[in-house]
Amino acid sequence: MNQNIQIAKEFHEITKHSPISIYSNRHYLDWENKPFPFKIYLNKQKVNLPSTFPYPMEDSIVCLKKRIDPNLSKQNQIDLKILSQILFFSAGITRKVNFNNNVYYMRAASATGALYPIEIYLICQKIQNFDAGVYHFCPADFTLTQLRKGDFRSILFTATGNNNKVIQAPITLIFTSIAWRNSWKYQTRSYRHWFWDAGVILANFLALCNNNLLSSQIILGYHDELVNRLLGLQNQKEAAIALATIESYYKYNDSNQFDYNQQLSTLKCETKPISKYEETIYPDIWKIHESSYLNSSIEITNWTSMKNKGNLNSYNKKKIYHDVVNIISEYNIGDLILQRGSTRRFSKKPITIRQLQNILYLASINIPFDFITDEQSLIDIYFIANSVSNLQSGKYYYNKLENKIEELEKGDSRDVAGHLCLDQKLFSDASVVFFLLTNMDTLLKYLGNRGYRAVQLEGGICAGKIYLATYSQGLGASGSTFYDDEVIESFLPHSNQKSTIISIGVGIPAYTAKRGKIYTNVLEKKDYSNKI
């Protein structure tokens, strides 16, 4: 099924936005049935994570710029406190917002519509004061719920086509998406959002790993049904979408101890319902997702080995060195993440061309995927410059190969930028609006339907890195959806045969945002019941 790429092409077409599709859509938001933002297990043992974890103090730009050598990573040891730090600053709760007599909880990484469909699970070996097992992370009460007891890394080894990273890493995170949380608002197009929302969390995660001198690999080559079964996920409700290792030294890390014929029992988990009434299932979401399944070790190996066959040479864009050493960041990585929040008003004041260059560079490096090399990318960056010192207003392309900005068209395009982002004034006021594009036909030809997941996830990670690089320099950012085809038309002929993945506006905020806080328990007693 992965090679039946017509499915991905059709999905992309039917989920495109246009002015007509937006204004003719009669979908309404049933606020009484809005999904609960946390997954709560009602019949499983919980482990309280320490709330006194070490604060991440490394310079934020350093955390974006450096790449940890796996050999160095193996000299460093992870413990429960470091794990707590990584989980909190990747996906923990940093703000409480009161609005219309309701309380909304904002997290360390942004999410489309603040709906937070992404869940995080952990596959752990035994570490100090913590048993080996399969766990679910709940940011609402800052706990890990144990779903299975024992070391299940051998199952991951099989599920990833014998990827040694999951054996060498004492902890692997598995990111899933609960479909209804986002489709409640965004319907079928919400499938794209799965990967955007996971991507911005992963951008934080990679920066936190760098803060702790721990290396990681983001794994998209895995046996979907086996991983879903390992986590006990409900079919067509929730699905695994990415794995990420945390590689470090640990004395118990002995691959000879594994039972590679380990069997999985069926998990019986009772969870709190996420909606008061019936959930809507959008068949096209599950059609595209299941059509990209990998079902055997051979399929997984063939898919991940694309990087060694030269088939993606059109994406082979080596990033040359860019001097960001002398930049003094506004924040350490901890303060940055607590300060970060989607900007709601831009001042129209210019950012510097140096700030723009730094954002472009830092957003484009150090994404350690399993299916392409560090020198490859599925993403091209285009942008509209509205207000950048020493750069004329107009449309531009970022040439990653030579690390330079190429002018495509001169002229004031503020109104165009706002229109392309669903006619939102916020993006007319932004200093720069980035549009991340890809050559969808080439991508699907070599990576199949699973390539659709991959490019959306890379787009989300790049967007997350743009957020971090922007706030590191005292600026602000906000992501947006867009009119797909009109974005492409706006950058023609350079953008010919490409497709739009995601857009982000950056600039100088017109206000000073309050710093977030560390919240480790926002649940009430009623939240642990099976009533919504």
Q: What is the pLDDT of residues 280-318, one digit of tens each?
A: 999 999 999 999 999 999 999 999 986 555 555 444 454
Within this chain, do residues 50 and 187 fall inside the same structural domain, yes or no? yes
- Among 295, 310, 325, the domain boundary falls at 310
Within this chain, do residues 338 and 297 fall inside the same structural domain, yes or no? no
Within this chain, do residues 239 and 105 fall inside the same structural domain, yes or no? yes
- Among 260, 278, 310, the domain boundary falls at 310
Within this chain, do residues 78 and 159 fall inside the same structural domain, yes or no? yes
Within this chain, do residues 69 and 103 fall inside the same structural domain, yes or no? yes
pLDDT of residue 408: 97
Q: How far is CA 405 from CA 140, 278, 353, 366, 408, in A?
A: 43, 50, 10, 20, 10
Within this chain, do residues 351 and 493 fall inside the same structural domain, yes or no? yes
* Cβ neighbours for 327, distance < 8 A, ≥ 6 positions apart: 61, 358, 473
pLDDT of residue 325: 46
d(CA 279, CA 183): 9
pLDDT of residue 186: 96
**Residue in 480, 280, 510 with CA at minimum distance from that of residue 387:** 510
CATH code (residue 480): 3.40.109.10
Within this chain, do residues 340 and 439 fall inside the same structural domain, yes or no? yes
Longest Cα separation, the chain: 65
**Does residue 10 sit within a domain?**
no
**Does residue 5 sit within a domain?**
no
**Does residue 319 sit within a domain?**
no
Within this chain, do residues 234 and 270 fall inside the same structural domain, yes or no? yes
d(CA 339, CA 69): 29
Q: Which domain holds residue 341?
A: 333-507
**Does residue 518 sit within a domain?**
no
Q: At what angle do helices 450-472 and 353-363 cross, to 10 degrees?
A: 140
Within this chain, do residues 132 and 65 fall inside the same structural domain, yes or no? yes
Whether the bond between 493 and the residue before it is cis, its omega within 30 degrees of 0, is: yes
**Does residue 320 sit within a domain?**
no
d(CA 431, CA 388): 6
Within this chain, do residues 88 and 232 fall inside the same structural domain, yes or no? yes
Alpha helices in 395-436 (DSSP H): 414-420, 425-429
Within this chain, do residues 119 and 261 fall inside the same structural domain, yes or no? yes
**Does residue 14 sit within a domain?**
no
Give the count of domains, the chain.
2
Contacts 24+ apart (CB under 8 A), 387-392: 387/348, 387/349, 387/350, 387/351, 387/431, 387/432, 387/507, 388/350, 388/351, 388/352, 388/353, 388/356, 388/431, 388/432, 389/350, 389/351, 389/352, 389/353, 390/352, 390/353, 391/353, 391/356
**Does residue 318 sit within a domain?**
no
Within this chain, do residues 241 and 358 fall inside the same structural domain, yes or no? no
pLDDT of residue 505: 97
d(CA 262, CA 258): 8
**Does residue 210 sit within a domain?**
yes
Written as tens digits, the pLDDT of the chain (532 aa) is 899 999 999 999 999 999 999 999 989 999 999 999 999 999 898 999 999 999 999 999 999 988 887 776 666 789 999 999 999 999 999 999 887 878 889 999 999 999 999 999 999 999 888 899 999 999 999 999 999 999 999 999 999 999 999 999 999 999 999 999 999 999 999 999 999 999 999 999 999 999 999 999 999 999 999 999 999 999 999 999 999 999 987 655 555 566 666 778 889 889 999 999 999 999 999 999 999 999 999 999 999 986 555 555 444 454 444 555 456 677 899 999 999 988 999 999 999 999 999 999 999 888 999 999 878 899 999 999 999 999 999 999 999 888 889 999 999 999 999 999 999 999 999 999 999 999 999 999 999 999 999 999 999 999 999 999 999 999 999 999 999 999 999 999 999 999 999 999 999 999 988 899 999 998 887 877 888 7
pLDDT of residue 512: 86
Do residues 516 and 464 lie in contact, with contact meaning Cβ atoms separated by under 8 Å?
Answer: no
Distance from chain centroid for Cα 459: 8
d(CA 40, CA 410): 53
Contacts 24+ apart (CB under 8 A), 27-30: 27/187, 29/184, 29/185, 30/184, 30/277
pLDDT of residue 313: 45
Do residues 213 and 68 lie in contact, with contact meaning Cβ atoms separated by under 8 Å?
Answer: yes
Burial of 329 (0-12, 13-18, 19+ CB in 10 A): buried
